[in-house]
Amino acid sequence: MRRVENLPQSRNAVYARSQDLTDIATDFSPCAGAAPGWNRKSQADHTVIDYAMLLKSCSEGDRAALRTLMETEGGRMFGVARRMLRRVDLAEDAVQEALVLIWRRAHQYDPERGSAKGWVYTILRNRCLTLLRREDREVATEPEAFDREADGAVLDQAIDRLGTTSDLRRCLEGLDEQTRRAILSSYVLGHSHGEIAGRMEAPLGSVKSWVRRGLTKLRECLS
Amino acid sequence: MTDRTLDILIDEIVLGLADDADVARVEEMASRDPAVAKKLVRAQARFAPLDDTADEIALPDGFWSRVEQGLDAGGIETGPTQTDVVDLSAARRALTRWRGAALGSIAAAILLAMTLGWSVMTPVEPSVIAVLLNDDGEAIALVEGRPDNTTLVTLLEQAQVSSERVMQVWTKPDDDGPPISLGLLASGRSETLTIQGLPAPSPQQLYEITVEPAGGSPTNLPTGPILGKGLAKEPVI
């Protein structure tokens, strides 16, 4: 949860523009009174930003809500995308496309089914995976190009940043090294079974069964 | 599928390891079975803390305008979604000259085909055609209704619809009955709409397009201003 008041000055311009649209709507529409309330509400009482509320406003056609989402969460989304895609240009594409998909699918988000932030990142990650798989097909990666050390450093950093009190961290650390690495590199780096097997120089079948066993252990540990 | 296999499969989907067919299968299960949907959400939540471990990197300047272009452009997904929102003012800004010219020629081609009795343009012959007129008597859209209730809506004019609104197409299969929604022109452009459970369209049937709040009329009846309306006629083929 973040607050609205520290948003940059450009926000005002957005609100002003949205307000104009509402005014135009008033001129010709009998139901303009029901225009989205996000703008006015956030201006009036500096409401704490609530992702579910932002998605609801998006589903009602309020672009300022999507922009607020981008301004509050875009940096982290960019980081997640760059970690998976490595290339800045692809990561930008992923974030842009994810935001457009979030806008289009906002009406499908059901608060009863999990957190809005989780929903946002699921869309982003799926977009990254699609771009990653597409890129893999188009650009053949030389095995030498694998940078195991860099990958390892990214994964270690991910674990470290989970924080010492994190259950996920405790449970991941309870797995053996290979399994932990396999699971983390799929979630964090977007690696497929085949890529994990290639990097670990292990048979594909073994990687698949490590991952499955590891996932069962993790689920038990976290429940 | 045993519970255990399903649990593992769901985790693999969240990790990004499952193949497309498995993802589609589980998503379909989740749409029918709340218990599966719950498992999926729980699995996502288990790994979600890892998202916050990524660096926070400032997006490049002007990124919002790229996003807005994406909102205006359509694409990424094929097929309209229900709450796509129309912002024709922005769309018009984004239109390059060639696209404008292309749209113009499409409109001209459509009108030409109209005078040729539609045989050129329509592989499936429409059972009715309506030209929707605005208050000034200008044609704003052409509606072709097919026997299976597929409706082709061709816009003949850029509508002034704000980003919080969407165009909705209506018809009155029964003269004395209520208007029935045929769907939204979510992209703000010409579209083919399909609807189940209506009788085949008949001559003299009313068609109209109204401007409704994003997502469509909340009452499921037209509430907004009418962009255009017209009565259907049977084409001479």
B111-123: average pLDDT: 56
Taking every pair of Cα atoms in chain B, the longest distance, rounded to a whole number of angstroms, is 66
**A172 touches A222 (CB < 8 A):** no
Q: Which among A30, A114, A118 has CB closest to B223? A: A30
DSSP line for A42-65: HHHH-PPP-HHHHHHHHHTT-HHH
For the ranges A1-10, A214-223, B31-40, B87-96, the maximum mean pLDDT occurs at: A214-223
Task: Compute the distance between CA of residue A24 and CA of residue B159 in angstroms, rounded to an integer.
Answer: 14
Task: Compute the distance between CA of residue B11 and CA of residue B17 in angstroms, rounded to an integer.
Answer: 9
**B181 touches B215 (CB < 8 A):** no
Reply yes or no on whether the pLDDT at A36 is more than 50. no
Of the pLDDT bands very low, low, confident and very high (cuts 50, 70, 90), residue A112 is: confident
A78 at B interface, C-beta within 8 A: yes
**A95 touches A124 (CB < 8 A):** yes
Reply yes or no on whether the pLDDT at B88 is more than 50. no
Would you call B207 helix, strand, or coil by DSSP? strand
Helix axes B3-15, B34-47, angle to 10 degrees: 50
Closest CA relative to residue B235, chosen from B124, B104, B157: B124
- Measured in whole angstroms, the distance separating CA B66 from the mean position of its chain's CA atoms is 22
Task: Compute the distance between CA of residue B2 and CA of residue B6 in angstroms, rounded to an integer.
Answer: 6
Helix axes A51-59, A63-85, angle to 10 degrees: 120
Task: Say which residue, B124 or A102, is predicted with more confidence.
Answer: A102
B37 at A interface, C-beta within 8 A: yes
Among A108, A125, A126, A173, the residue to mutate for chain B (most B Cβ within 10 A) = A125
Q: Give the pair of three-digit tokens for residue B13.
A: 């989907």
Task: Compute the distance between CA of residue B8 and CA of residue B10 in angstroms, rounded to an integer.
Answer: 5
What are the residues whose beta carbons fall under 8 Å from the beta carbon of A194, sequence distance 6 or more?
A204
The pLDDT tens digits of the residues spanning A156-213 come to 999 999 988 899 999 999 999 999 999 999 999 999 999 999 988 899 999 999 999 9
* β-pairing verdict for B206-213 and B180-185: unpaired
Looking at residue A160, its amino acid is D
Task: Compute the distance between CA of residue B121 and CA of residue B131 in angstroms, rounded to an integer.
Answer: 16
ipTM at complex level:
0.76
Task: Say what the pLDDT of residue A12 is.
Answer: 40
Q: What are phi and psi of B224, to 5 degrees?
A: -90, 180
**B128 touches B203 (CB < 8 A):** yes
In 10 A of CB B29, how many CB atoms? 18
Count the alpha carbons within 13 Å of B160 in the hemisphere toward its beta carbon: 8
Q: Which among B57, B66, B213 has CB closest to A79? A: B57
Task: Say what the pLDDT of residue B78 is.
Answer: 34
With CB atoms and an 8 Å threshold, state whether B163 touches A157.
no
- State which H helix or E strand residue B210 sits in: strand B206-213
Among B3, B53, B185, the residue to mutate for chain A (most A Cβ within 10 A) = B53
Closest CA relative to residue A188, chosen from A196, A176, A177: A196
What is the SS3 assignment for A108-132?
A: HCCCCCCCHHHHHHHHHHHHHHHHH
Mean per-residue pLDDT over chain A, rounded: 79
The pLDDT tens digits of the residues spanning A46-64 come to 445 689 999 999 999 999 9
Task: Say what the pLDDT of residue B19 is.
Answer: 85
